[in-house]
């Protein structure tokens, strides 16, 4: 468990600080069965959800336990929905435009590691809500996807731009959209 979180922190830090080198080492891995999803995305999303549970309970004005659990569950649902939505539209795009590159393992690897930026910024803003302005740094996800598509697929810049917009914007915006939709459906909150 300790090694797993050490690897997650090391990879996330590498993606944010030395994106190109980290993607090169990720590309060199021979993942087969959704390892990046299981060993990076899920623990990172669950850890952020636990932080949401704790700090939403501490910062709530009324009904602290209900607010904490609701916010934690909503965050987890929105991250998983965003992951699968991004995976779905990415697979559709690749099957239509680049059938030779349409690999579920590679696409999941890029999405799993690219979510690091969004999840870590969310964790920081949950712990210290007054740093809400850091959410503008989610735009860095576009660069992370840009570098990932360069390293993983070695395609030209025009196609990388399309992939960057498709995957990057989906990773950045889908969790918030899913969260808002679910909040509209929940009465009393």
pLDDT tens column, 87-113 = 999 999 999 988 888 888 889 999 999
pTM of this structure: 0.91
* Contact call for residues 114 and 142 (beta carbons, < 8 A): no
Q: d(Cα 138, Cα 160) in Å, to the nearest integer?
A: 19
Residues in CB range of 59: below 8 A, 6 or more apart: 129
Q: Kindly tell me if the per-residue pLDDT of 32 is higher than 80.
A: no
In this prediction, residue 62 carries a pLDDT of 85
- Is 67:188 a contact under the CB 8 Å cutoff? no
| The pLDDT value given to residue 189 | 62
- Condensed to tens digits (0 to 9), the pLDDT of residues 164-186 reads 999 999 999 999 999 999 989 98
Bigger pLDDT: 34 vs 81: 81
89 and 170 Cβ atoms separated by less than 8 Å: yes
Least Cα distance to 107 among 16, 180, 170, 43 occurs for 170
Residue 125's pLDDT is 94
């Amino acid at each position: 468990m300790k090694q797993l979180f050490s690897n997650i922190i090391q990879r996330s830090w590498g993606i944010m600080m030395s994106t190109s080198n980290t993607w090169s080492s990720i590309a060199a891995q021979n993942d087969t069965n959704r390892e990046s999803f299981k060993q990076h995305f899920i623990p990172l999303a669950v850890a952020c959800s636990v932080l949401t549970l704790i700090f939403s309970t501490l910062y709530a004005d009324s009904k602290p336990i209900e607010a904490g659990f609701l916010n934690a569950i909503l965050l987890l649902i929105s991250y998983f929905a965003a992951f699968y939505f991004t995976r779905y539209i990415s697979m559709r795009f690749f099957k239509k435009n680049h059938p030779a590159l349409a690999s579920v393992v590679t696409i999941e690897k890029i999405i799993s590691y690219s979510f690091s930026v969004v999840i870590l910024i969310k964790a920081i803003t949950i712990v210290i809500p007054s740093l809400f302005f850091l959410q503008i740094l989610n735009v860095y996800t576009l660069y992370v996807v840009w570098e990932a598509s360069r390293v993983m697929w070695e395609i030209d810049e025009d196609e990388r731009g399309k992939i960057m917009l498709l995957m990057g914007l989906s990773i950045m915006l889908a969790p918030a959209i899913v969260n808002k939709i679910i909040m509209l459906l929940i009465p009393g909150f």
